[in-house]
Structure 1
Amino acid sequence: MDTMETYTEIPAGSVQLLPHLGRIDYLDVPNPFAQRLALVRAYLMSLDSDCLLRAHRFEAGLFAPGAPAPTTAWHGGWEALDSQLRGHFLGHWLSAAARLCATAADGDPVLRARVDDVIAQLALLQRENGGTWVFSIPEKYLHRIAAGRPVWAPHYTVHKTLMGLMDAHRLLGSQVALDIVVRAAPWFHRFTDDLDRTALDDLLDHETGGMLEVWADLYAATGDRTHLDLVRRYDRPRLFEPLLAGEDPLTNRHANTTIPEVLGAARAFEATGDERWRRVVEAYWRCAVTGRGRFATGGQTSEEVWTPPHEFAARLGTRTQEHCVVHHMVRLAHTLLRWTGDLAYADHIERTVHNGVLAQQHPRTGMPAYYLPLRPGSVKKWGTPTDSFWCCHGTMVQAHTLHTAHAWYVHGDGSGLLLAQYVPSTVRCELRGVRVELEQRPDTGIGSHIAAGGASGAVRRPARWAVEVVVRARRPVEFTLGLRVPEWVTGPVTVEVDGVPQPVPDGPGLVQVRRSWHRQTVRISLPTGLRAEALADRPDTVAFLDGPVVLAGLCDEERELVGDVTRPESFLAPDEEREPFRWSGAWRARGQSAGLRFIPLHEVTDERFAVYFPVRPAPLTHRDPTPPAP
């Protein structure tokens, strides 16, 4: 069921998360994705603008020691004035807030007013600081890097401000934001004017963040040849050429330094049409993912570096799976899915969203976990609202604004829609000149890992996801509705339109239903079940998954289990499967030396847990082969 279709991203304002999944008895059942996004919005609103802008004002010379303190304490951690990355979080804040405003049905006027005010303040600070420099760190940090003197990632820091401004322009149409970036660009052009390729490569060997992506975005917005010149100057041949030659320049290399650079190559291809950039992106994915393997969570990093290909057993640590890597690899998979139509990229997004983006955000406080530890008996370590501001703090607030971006896509030729992620949401767009609206939500009479199950329907926790898609068109219109069949399905998939079964090819991939649509309901049922995934280099050590969801065993040390890993349901049983208004995702181990409970990894908060377990086969039951006497 593979597809070679290409897809186009739907404009941000055309897709909204459903706030609720439906009503069960007298309660509205919340959408867990909307709940997580609400935590992000509340956090963004809680941060004082004076605190967010403090480092930028300090650099512009407008920070007065005797000025009144903000209503909250000054930000600490990586945002403290003695941090060389100070001010980086403002760009993440702008990017996340801009997308929240763009996707809100009403434009979120309260948050939008804050976004516009922050942008206006940055324009003022740029004027006060000479007309070009608009950043939170001094210019001399970049000159020090060029001279070979150590500074902590100045390009990374300035990129975040540029990123936030470009996102405000792209998503909200802010001309003020674009003008700030246009005025800032000449500084970098002058800075690199006298550097030959070797000197540029030496400079860019220090973490550049997404500078290449920003210049490609800017060139796409302006068509200015000097901005194209910056794209070429911020090329990364020392990384890209080995990739194009089929080599592995990634093993044991800092992962999050390289992914934003490859995202820059992706944007450069889209802005220029130069095929070399696309080949770089495809080679990177082969090197980082398909040729490397993965943990069950979908990640490949530990201690912030890429693991050796298919060697994961020695990397199960307390600092596994950095959140920034998860976020940026989801963005890269989103790009490759649009280019190729290969739904393996959608499978990657699904797995890493559930076991990274969701698993590395506290479900009640909204705070991030920098790493997802995979050493048995570890705990997640959560950030604080105003005293952390790690890099992963920034990517966390951005990641949860992208759930709508990955749910729906338009066919490249405009002939239909793809439902790529089962994230309860509504899409409104125009197909063949007709306004259409599609709404997807779990069948609450059946339930799923994310849905509150109904009071009717299944008696026991269902072994399938059931999703209903309601199609409404202003008038009858013919188009193709594509439905992704995930990699984890365990049996025949069924698709019905108004109760009429549709043909479904075998296996994971794509179901396409083409017809005239007006007022129909589509129902897809995706069989799921427990399965075990072994470490590539330790086949007797496995993680357990239910659909795309990794299960965490609640324990404070490594535990050996006994059972048949090809049939994990033979020694794992549903546990507390029903709450008043939803099915739970909990399991318990049977026939073991000690009790052990499993819950979805994204539900773990402060418990000690393990993801991987050595499993040995159960002993055979011996019987006397001698037949009984007659």
Structure 2
Amino acid sequence: MNHFKLKDFPNGSVRLNQGPLQARLQLNKQYVMSLTNENLLRNFYLEAGLWSYSGNGGTTSATATSMDGPEQWHWGWESPTCELRGHMMGHWLSAAARIYRQTSDNLVKAKADFIVTELARCQEAIGSGWLAAFPETYMHRIVKGKWVWAPHYTVHKLLMGLYEMHQLAGNEQALTVMVDMAAWFYEWTDTFSRKQMDDLLDQETGGMLETWADLYGLTKDVKHRELISRYDRRRFFDALIAGEDALTNKHANTQIPEILGAAKAWEVTGEGRYRQIVEAFWKCAVEDRGYLVTGAADDAELWMPAGNMTRMGVGQEHCVNYNMMRLAHVLLRWTGNPAYADYWERRFINGVLAHQHSETGMISYFLGIGAGSSKKWGSPTQHFWCCHGTLVQANASYDEQIFLKDEGGIAILQWLPASLTTKVDDAALTLTIEQDGQHGLYPLNSWNVAGMTAITKVDQPPIPVHRPDRFKYEMNVALSTNKVFGLKLRLPWWLNGKALIYVNGVLQVGDWQPSTYAVLEREWADGDHIQVELPKTLTAEQLPGEPDTYAFLDGPIVLAGLVAEERRLAGNPERLDTLLVPDRERNHSWWNSGYYRTKGQECGIRFIPLYEIKDEAYSVYFPMRPASVYS
């Protein structure tokens, strides 16, 4: 069905260029590959009775005589005594598939393919089509209304990983395993009345609707279509369509996967009600509710009230952040509206990057933004929170929203250093985005060859005296044959003043506003060069529900003050140059974005990007009073 204004490019078309984001991708890949097959599969082997099995030709899985002691095993939420065990497997498969999509690393694919083969063996040993790291009896218990910790959630993660192994890594066996699991669920739910099914879904549904929609999109099997209908959570969806606030103080990451399921159901069935559900949810969760400076509207996993987010006690959850980014990407593809890319960018910089330790690669489950916050980091094998799973997925997905196909050509949605390899009709095209070396490697800073050359040679262009007030990007076209097509460049929400766009040195003319596109349509040739300058400035955003409390941004980058308690600042939020001044502007061969310090305050505070916080205590929101109060 042709539902989309924008479409994804085929797998492997987009690659990150050298720089800090690629380094983070590699850090994530190293961690994904460090998790052993035995540890990932242990609970599945135990459930299938294969842990100490030795078949023809020798042992094919871990054995009871293994010298790998329990101190090396996966614990936390992957412990054999935890009801949520097995969720990490699905996240791992998804991450491996996405890493393979971007890197074509056959070692990653070989490891993931082996895992899928072993999962299929576990499914065969169980014999009913069931596959999980926990028994089928968990499902029978929830039907009786007895508490079990989120079995649908866990199964959905596994099926999502299998689906992406099939779609992104070309593993056919993964689809077979999914089909057999679908047969189990079809039979299990076949005798339930609609009320029984609705009661079940009210208790816990995970993202199963998305799974069945994914599967139906591939098979067109009527039984898979029926599973979509059965897992339609009508009570929640109908309330949204009716315009009710069905979210406040509800568990955010329970509901977003259900909405992602509705989105996929619309894509594969064309049933308009599903699109209504998604749009009603976005209106309730984002447009009417508002959000914090990071883009979050949840605290401690619960939706905060619309327009009143003063409680900020625990912080935003990474799973919510990631799944709202997934939903924004869906709506961007449907509508082409750059506002969804703006939202994605805000949550990427101040969510995905801010939740991950840039040196260890580990996750902070919650990201506090209240006074005196700190990040609590997970460990490689001892925690395995739900957010640990979305960590490896999110950090394998930087490529998904940089370039998208547009009716008239190509849309550039995110200003991240990357390359697109594709075709325009019969012409081979490579389009690259790089950042000007003297303007930092946004959104992270790093040394680069251009910057090193500039500080060592006298015949280079002069280096600005102070930190530039704009981000600059260079785009290069490599094209086998001249072609006419359009480039749509997103002009972001944080733009301060007029964007400057040059094609082969010639300034382009256009009335370009924030949150719109600059459209360049022409005959492109090999060697064409585009330069884009996006002016930025310091801004203050009010805490929803508290008029005199503000957070600060440098362009899209949320700033964190290095202070362990609430501090009141004196100043004018509309004249931040009187309150904050640049700090540590220059670092060897690059400029530091987002570094400031206060002036004219009773006690000085340094500010750095929220995504650079590691172990420091920090605050994001600050009460403010006019400077005259202290004069």
Instruction: State TM-score, norm by structure 1.
Output: 0.94
Q: How does 1:124-523 map to 2 (within 5 A)?
A: 124-313=121-310, 315-317=311-313, 319-411=314-406, 413=407, 415-447=408-440, 448-452=442-446, 454=451, 455=454, 456-508=462-514, 509-518=516-525, 519-523=527-531
State whether residues 472 and 517 of structure 1, in contact with CA within 8 Å, keep that contact through their aligned partners in structure 2. Answer: no
Structure 1 residue aligned with 2:566, among 558, 565, 578?
558
SS at match of 1:152: coil
The answer (yes or no) to whether the contact 1:54–1:87 under 8 Å persists in 2 is no
Report the Cα distance in structure 2 between the residues aligned to 1:620 and 1:543, rounded to whole angstroms: 20
Cα displacement (A) at 1:417: 0.5
In the TM superposition, residue 213 of structure 1 has moved relative to its aligned partner by 0.6
Distance 1:565 1:178 in 2: 55
Distance 2:223 2:208 in 1: 15
1:586 aligns with 2:582: no
Deviations 1:206-229 (A, max 9, x none): 232211111001011111110111
- Cα deviation, 1:103-141, whole Å, max 9, x if unaligned, reads 11xx10111110110011011111111051121111010
1:499 shift after superposition: 0.6
Alpha-carbon contact 1:478-1:517 (below 8 Å) kept: yes
Q: Which residue of the partner structure matches residue 627 of structure 1?
A: none
User: For 1:506-539, what per-residue CA distance to the aligned partner results, in whole angstroms no more than 9, with x for missing partners?
Assistant: 4211100000111211111000010000112111
SS in structure 1 opposite 2:203? coil
Task: Look up the match of 2:457.
Answer: none
Query: Which amino acid counterpart does residue 601 of structure 1 have in structure 2?
Result: L
Contact 2:93 2:165 in 1 (8 A): yes
Distance 1:175 1:515 in 2: 42
Structure 1 residue 535 and structure 2 residue 538: aligned? no
2: distance between equivalents of 1:16 and 1:196? 49
Offset at 1:435?
1.6
Letter aligned with residue 44 of structure 2: H
Between the aligned partners of 2:105 and 2:336, the Cα distance in structure 1 is 33
Equivalent in the alignment of 2:621: 612
Q: Could you tell me how far 1:620 is from its partner in structure 2?
A: 8.6
Match of 1:9 in 2: 8
Q: Is the 8 A contact 2:318 2:365 kept in 1?
A: yes
Query: How far is 1:40 from its partner?
Result: 0.8
* TM superposition shift of 1:449: 4.5
**8 A contact 1:444–1:452 mirrored in 2:** no
Cα distance, 1:428 vs structure 2 = 0.8
State the AA in 1 paired with 2:39.
C
CA deviation string 1:362-393 (max 9, x = no partner): 01000000000122111100100000100000
SS for the counterpart of 2:294 is: coil
The equivalent residue for 1:597 is 606
- 2-structure distance, mates of 1:621, 1:189: 69
Aligned length: 602
Instruction: For 2:210 and 2:436, locate their aligned partners in 1 and report how far apart those are by CA, in whole Å.
Output: 40
Taking the TM superposition and a 5 Å limit, the aligned residue runs for 1:15-26 are 15-19=14-18
Letter in 2 for 1:582: W
Contact 2:512–2:518 under 8 Å retained in 1: no
Deviation at 1:102, TM superposition (A): 1.2
The question of whether the paired residues in 1 share the 8 Å contact of 2:350 and 2:610 is answered with yes
Letter paired with 2:292: F
Partner SS, residue 429 of structure 1: strand
1:170 alignment partner, SS class = helix
CA contact 1:444–1:451 (8 Å) conserved in 2 = no
Q: Deviations over 1:33-63 (max 9, x none)?
A: 1121111101001111100011111110112
State the 1:621 CA deviation: 11
Query: Is the Cα contact below 8 Å between 1:98 and 1:168 reproduced in 2?
Result: yes
> Is 1:97 aligned to residue 96 of structure 2?
yes
Which amino acid in 1 is paired with 2:312? L
C-alpha contact (below 8 Å) 1:163/1:214 kept by paired residues: yes
Closer/same/farther in 2, CA of residues 249 and 69 from structure 1, 3 Å limit: farther
SS in 1 for 2:627: coil
One-letter code of the match for 1:562?
A
Cα distance in 2 for partners of 1:368, 1:556 equals 21
Equivalent position of 1:85 in the other structure = 84
* Cα deviations by residue, 1:132-187 (Å, 9 ceiling, x for unpaired): 11211110101100011111001111111111111100111211100111111111
Do the aligned partners of 1:75 and 1:387 also contact (CA within 8 Å) in 2?
yes
How far has the Cα of 1:69 moved from its partner? Answer: 4.1
- Return closer, same or farther for 1:70/1:516 CA change in 2, 3 Å cut-off: farther
**Structure 2 gap ranges (5+):** 53-62, 455-461
Residue 618 of structure 1: CA displacement? 1.1
Change (3 A) 1:263 1:620: closer
Whichever residue aligns with residue 326 of structure 2, its letter is R
CA separation of 1:449 and 1:577: change in aligned 2, threshold 3 A: farther
Q: CA deviation at 1:66?
A: 2.7
Mapped partners of 1:551, 1:5: distance in 2: 36
Residues 439, 590 of structure 2: 8 Å contact kept? no
Corresponding residue of 1:118: 115
Deviation at 1:581, TM superposition (A): 2.1
Distance 2:490 2:400 in 1: 15
SS at match of 2:490: strand
State the TM-score, normalizing by the size of structure 2: 0.93
Unaligned ranges ≥5, structure 1: 20-30, 623-630
Matched letter for residue 28 of structure 2: V
**What is the CA–CA distance in structure 2 between the aligned matches of 1:482 and 1:381, rounded to whole Å?**
40
RMSD of aligned residue pairs (Cα, Å): 1.5
CA contact (8 A) 2:163 2:174 kept: yes
Comparing 572-581 and 291-300, the one that deviates more: 572-581
Letter in 2 for 1:513: L
1:434 is displaced (CA, Å) by: 1.8
Answer yes or no: is 1:67 the counterpart of 2:65. Answer: yes
Q: State the 1:294 CA deviation.
A: 0.3
Q: State how far apart, in whole Å, the 2-side matches of 1:5 and 1:114 are.
A: 34
Q: CA deviation at 1:446?
A: 3.1
Check conservation: 1:12, 1:405, Cα contact below 8 A: no
Cα distance in 2 between the residues matched to 1:589 and 1:82: 50
> Once the 2 structures are TM-superposed, how far is the Cα of residue 5 of structure 1 from its aligned partner?
8.5
Asked if the contact 2:439–2:591 (Cα under 8 Å) also holds between the matched residues in 1, the reply is no
Conserved? CA contact 1:243–1:249, under 8 Å = yes
**TM-aligned CA distance change 1:50 to 1:534, over 3 Å:** same
